[in-house]
Amino acid sequence: MLRFSKIPWSTSTVSGSFRNINFCRRNLTTVSKRLQEQSTKSAREHYARIQQQQALQMKIRNRSAAYYAGSVIMIFAGLSCVAVPFYRYLCKRTGWGGVPITDSRVFTPDKVIPIDTNRRIRISFTCQASGVLPWKFTPLQKEVYIVPGETALVFYKAKNMSKEDIIGMATYSVSPDHVAPYFNKIQCFCFEEQRLAAGEEVDMPVFFFIDPDFAKDSAMKNIDDVVLNYSFFKASHLDDGLYPVPVATVQANVSTA
């Protein structure tokens, strides 16, 4: 038969044991709080670093986008400055857009030899002046008949009807527009400053011919009528040259003088 001996437990021993247990609990609680605070602080610092990195990346992206946008704006600004002169050169050189060729380098001697044909082309002349340009602008010839390779000289008359000196500028086109590459002007008054004093009247020449290759182009075989049209505008001086003022136009009298 087993017998258990009694362990003497005093009140002071039990109280000391509970104090030790409470002390350990407090230590564990303190350590746990410190670990939690350190973990929270570390997480906050990590989050702050991520935010700083994102803000820096966003700043770099915004700066790059601003640089790209500025570059594009500068490029288009440069293109807009050269667009009008380049367009004029292209049209004068190639006849593109219904603008007759005026580049003298294409006027070789073989181009001004009339071809042997009974087919003549009727060239009609029309014009209009800007509504704010007080000029009377008319063609002196209503029409002429020529063969390809034959030169022709016609005149337009302009008169300043106002009591002050005015600068005008003329633009021109050919219709049908696909005839323009064959319509060559040796001399004309287009895209040049025309200054007329008050009441002044001038005759302005147009010296032109149709390229002989016109007769060889199958697309031109049904073209018997061509219209040369001039538009006169009141001109204004800009930084890079003389340009017409874009305003509404009114049809001028096209009857012969």
CA distances to 21, 70, 172 from 227, in Å: 114, 45, 10
Beta carbons of 157 and 201 less than 8 angstroms apart? yes
Q: What residue has token string 């437990």?
A: 9
Break the chain into its structural domains and give their ranges. Answer: 14-94, 98-251
The two three-digit tokens of residue 160, written as one number: 């300043």
Cis-peptide, bond into residue 246, ω within 30° of zero: no
Residue 240, phi then psi, degrees to nearest 5? -110, 20
Helix, coil or strand: residue 5: coil
Q: Give the CATH class of 98-251.
A: mainly beta
CA distance 145 to 55: 76
- pLDDT (tens place) for every residue of the chain, 257 residues total: 555 455 555 555 555 555 666 666 666 677 667 777 777 777 777 777 887 888 888 888 887 777 777 777 777 666 555 544 544 554 554 444 444 555 556 667 778 889 998 889 999 999 998 888 899 999 999 999 999 999 999 999 999 999 999 998 888 889 998 898 899 888 888 777 889 999 999 999 999 999 999 999 999 989 999 999 999 888 866 655 555 555 444 444 444 44
